[in-house]
């Protein structure tokens, strides 16, 4: 797999490890970390990978991947509504894990290799951009956590572009 997807593959492994950690500990904080990691990861893919996939490779693959993300987001929202002592928490986390595992398998075995094959010049340049965007999204997630916001809130915020009215740079007065 090309370096372009290295950050995304690393995310996949980290979330797998967090699921295993939860299965061992049952720790609610681990569940919230899983949800945060998935929120950031899904935003990366939805902003940087799926539009390219949709425009240049396969509308169907892109739509399917987005639908799978929505399925995971719906489960995350349900998990966030549960307390650490909720009897359905472990089942909801298991459902999320199964959904994520299926999605990861498709990305790693089909989606990413197909993009590498059909768009080698474009894909080869994605790595640094994905890494840079991930840092911004991780900072946002850390800020949200410090404000005691649910992980899904990070994914619900509008994405601002630098220099836009809602972006990071101040708007100059005429």
8-state DSSP, 160: P
pLDDT in tens, 82-118: 989 999 999 999 999 999 999 999 999 999 999 999 9
Task: Domain count for the chain, please give it.
Answer: 1
Q: Is residue 58 part of a domain?
A: yes
**CA 143, 145, 147, 150 torsion-angle sign:** positive
User: What tokens does 1 get?
Assistant: 């797999």
CA 60 to chain centre: 20
The pLDDT value given to residue 151 = 78
The pLDDT value given to residue 92 = 97
Q: Is residue 170 part of a domain?
A: no
Does 157 have pLDDT greater than 50? no
Q: Which range of residues forms the domain containing residue 66? A: 3-150
Q: What is the mean pLDDT of residues 64-83?
A: 95
Q: Which residue has the tokens 């601002």?
A: 160
pLDDT band at 142 (very low <50, low <70, confident <90, very high): confident
- 3-state secondary structure string across 2-22: CHHHHHHHHHHHHHHHHHHHH
Q: What percent of the chain has pLDDT over 70?
A: 86
Q: Is residue 158 part of a domain?
A: no
Nearest to 155 by CA among 74, 49, 54, 55: 74
Q: Is residue 167 part of a domain?
A: no
Instruction: Average the pLDDT over each of 9-13, 36-40, 51-55, 156-160 and give the range with the smallest value.
Output: 156-160
């Amino acid at each position: 797999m090309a370096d372009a997807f290295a950050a995304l593959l690393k995310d996949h492994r980290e979330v797998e490890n967090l699921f295993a950690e939860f299965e061992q500990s049952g720790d609610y904080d681990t569940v919230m970390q899983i949800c945060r990691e998935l929120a950031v990861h899904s935003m990366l893919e939805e902003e940087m990978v799926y539009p390219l996939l949709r425009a240049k490779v396969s509308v169907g693959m892109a739509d399917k991947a987005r639908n799978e993300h929505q399925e995971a987001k719906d489960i995350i929202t349900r998990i966030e509504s549960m307390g650490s002592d909720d009897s359905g928490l472990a089942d909801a986390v298991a459902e999320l894990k199964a959904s994520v595992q299926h999605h990861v398998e498709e990305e790693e075995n089909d989606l990413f290799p197909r993009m590498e094959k059909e768009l080698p010049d474009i894909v080869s340049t994605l790595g640094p951009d994905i890494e840079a965007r991930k840092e911004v999204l991780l900072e946002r997630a850390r800020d949200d956590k410090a404000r005691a916001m649910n992980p899904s809130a990070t994914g619900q915020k509008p994405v601002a572009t630098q220099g836009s009215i809602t972006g990071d740079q101040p708007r100059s007065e005429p």
